Structure 1
């Protein structure tokens, strides 16, 4: 993974997981209900598109959530695409049945 040295910020006030690369902020919007985190939207500034920032952001978010014993409900199309490419992360999925 690129961007290993850039820390992920859990901005609880904004309900965002954030990654700042070259001064530009990328983020995943989320809502948390109990131990479930609904990943709603991923956004990367245009100048960073195609550089692997979104993948690094989502992977760092998954690592953070796993370390905090949280489950994901992926609503964001990018997160769903990432899970198809990296099915090993499906271990974090909570399904709406138990939401």
Structure 2
């Protein structure tokens, strides 16, 4: 089995991050940005790509980008909320807007 190539791209014009697998869009994380806060309200990995552990790298890249541009997050999406509850991702909890 060969390793798949994954890449996360930010598409600010569409208020989303997409994860690409071998050049194919495999899923996305949608957000709305307002007053310095990105509200992550929907994360989806497309059915043919599910079960490959793609949501974590997608969410991690989205949150790292949000941190790097100095914004806060609102984890409305259950997948983002679940990601933040994991101890391994505790460093992102400081990004949660009050």
Q: Where in structure 2 are there 5+ consecutive unaligned residues? A: none
* Aligned positions, number: 92
* Alignment RMSD (CA, Å): 1.7
Aligned residues of 2:36 and 2:71 also touching (Cα < 8 A): yes
In 2, the alpha carbon distance for the partners of 1:24 and 1:17 equals 10
Runs of 4+ in structure 1 off by over 3 angstroms are none
Q: Where in structure 1 are there 5+ consecutive unaligned residues? A: none
TM-score by length of 2: 0.84
Q: Within 5 A, what are the aligned runs for 1:12-51?
A: 12-22=12-22, 23-51=24-52
TM-score by length of 1: 0.83
